[in-house]
Amino acid sequence: MCDCCGSHVSKVERVAVDPLYSPMEGTIIRTKQMTEKEKFFEIKLDGGKELGHMPGQFVQFSMFGIGEAPISISSSPTKKEKGTFEVCVRNVGMFTGMMHKLDVGDKIGVRGPFGRPFPIDELKGNDIIMVAGGLGIVPLRSLINFVIDKRRDFGEVTILLGCKAPKDRLFTSEIDTWNRITDINYACTVDKADPDWKGNVGVITTLIPGVDVDINRTYAVIVGPPIMYKFVIAELLRKGLPEKQIILSLERRMKCGLGKCGHCQINEKYVCQDGPTFTYDEIKGLEEAL
Ligand SMILES: Cc1cc2nc3c(=O)[nH]c(=O)nc-3n(C[C@H](O)[C@H](O)[C@H](O)COP(=O)(O)OP(=O)(O)OC[C@H]3O[C@@H](n4cnc5c(N)ncnc54)[C@H](O)[C@@H]3O)c2cc1C
Ligand code: FES
């Protein structure tokens, strides 16, 4: 018997309608080619459904005959227009290449939201340094806009962004608005400038010595490529930041997103469920984690 309606529905059938197991249908309502490799999508779930995510979570997208891929949710749940969510996808292979061919009005399967979000309740009332390298801006944008929309809940806020070259920067006009917010510290750097670039040049770690850190109330949230974590974490530890106040998001190959298949497993940790967000002290001993 079904718990809610009393009908004769088997357990298997009930599992089949759980949005974590069986995809909901979504419609693409806006797209934008952001760079040569990255495309933005805004998606509305059909039937008036809400995704109900928190910053740091991801969805599993699916396409018939192609497969599934985990993609971070880039919009904040505080977004004014309710009922849609945003992602940015880098074209690296089969699934992401097919997704780049989709446009407004096309349908896509959506499971989720999955994963442990950033620990918002712990961050509240404290200072936050948010550090994004490359595509790391995609998941971190959700937290950044959450913090901006609930600015009074947080102490000092610092945003540090880095990417390889000016042409690789994502969300440029939105980032310009963050830069103009007077009670937020903001700095951006590129590894290699072009003739029009007037900003900082150098790897992202070069921005950290200029940031004030009160070790009693500062949390750092870092998202970027594995190589970046090692150096950014070393700089933050040098400033005396405790390991449990350093939060990062790991990317691993995933299949189920549900802690069942083991694809994302690092020792006893399932990145899809125990993460993708972790504190540094939770993962520093795990080989292959960083
Ligand atoms: C939690 C999570 C969040 C993610 N968020 C985003 C996002 O917001 N935007 C985005 O563009 N991508 C994101 N990814 C990565 C994305 O899932 C992969 O790029 C995608 O699954 C590749 O599928 P494909 O079929 O296009 O590529 P494939 O044809 O399977 O592979 C193409 C190439 O990419 C490599 N590759 C495939 N999957 C991964 C992976 N997970 N990590 C590293 N290399 C991989 C392969 O080794 C191969 O070289 C995320 C991954 C995870 C686990
Ligand atoms: S993706 Fe299957 S266990 Fe994590």
Ligand 2 site, residue 20, Cβ cutoff 6 A? no
Rounded distance from Cα 253 to ligand 2 centre (Å): 8
Q: Residue range 67-93: average pLDDT?
A: 92
Closest CA to 283 of 241, 238, 226, 218: 226
> Best mutation site among 71, 89, 94, 265 for ligand 1, i.e. most ligand atoms within 8 A of its Cβ?
71
Q: Residue range 256-272: average pLDDT?
A: 89
Rounded distance from Cα 253 to ligand 1 centre (Å): 7
Specify the pLDDT at position 7: 45
| 52-87 core/surface letters (b: 16 or more CB in 10 A; e: else) | ebbbbbbbbbbbeeeebbbbbbbbbbebeeeebbbb
Rounded distance from Cα 263 to ligand 2 centre (Å): 5
Q: What single-letter DSSP state applies at residue 194?
A: -
> Best mutation site among 75, 92, 135, 272 for ligand 1, i.e. most ligand atoms within 8 A of its Cβ?
92
Q: What is the pTM of this model?
A: 0.91
> Best mutation site among 114, 260, 267, 269 for ligand 2, i.e. most ligand atoms within 8 A of its Cβ?
260
The region of weakest confidence among 96-110, 139-153, 160-174, 248-262 is: 248-262
Closest ligand relative to 37 C-alpha: 1
Ligand 2 site, residue 256, Cβ cutoff 6 A? yes
Q: Has residue 14 got a pLDDT over 60?
A: no
Q: Residue range 240-244: average pLDDT?
A: 95
HSE toward the beta carbon, residue 140, CA cutoff 13 A: 28
Rounded distance from Cα 94 to ligand 1 centre (Å): 10
Dihedrals φ, ψ of 102, to 5°? -75, 150
Rounded distance from Cα 250 to ligand 2 centre (Å): 13
Q: Has residue 148 got a pLDDT over 50?
A: yes
Closest CA to 278 of 256, 255, 254, 252: 252
Specify the pLDDT at position 20: 78
Rounded distance from Cα 226 to ligand 2 centre (Å): 20
Closest CA to 62 of 29, 24, 89, 114: 24
Ligand 2 site, residue 123, Cβ cutoff 6 A? no
Q: Report the alpha-carbon angle 150-58-17, nearest 5.
A: 115
Instruction: State percent of the chain over pLDDT 70.
Output: 93
Residue 223, number of CB atoms within 10 A of its CB: 29
Please report the atom of ligand 2 found closest to the CA of residue 270.
4
Rounded distance from Cα 213 to ligand 1 centre (Å): 34
The region of weakest confidence among 24-28, 55-59, 207-211, 251-255 is: 251-255
Ligand 1 site, residue 90, Cβ cutoff 6 A? yes
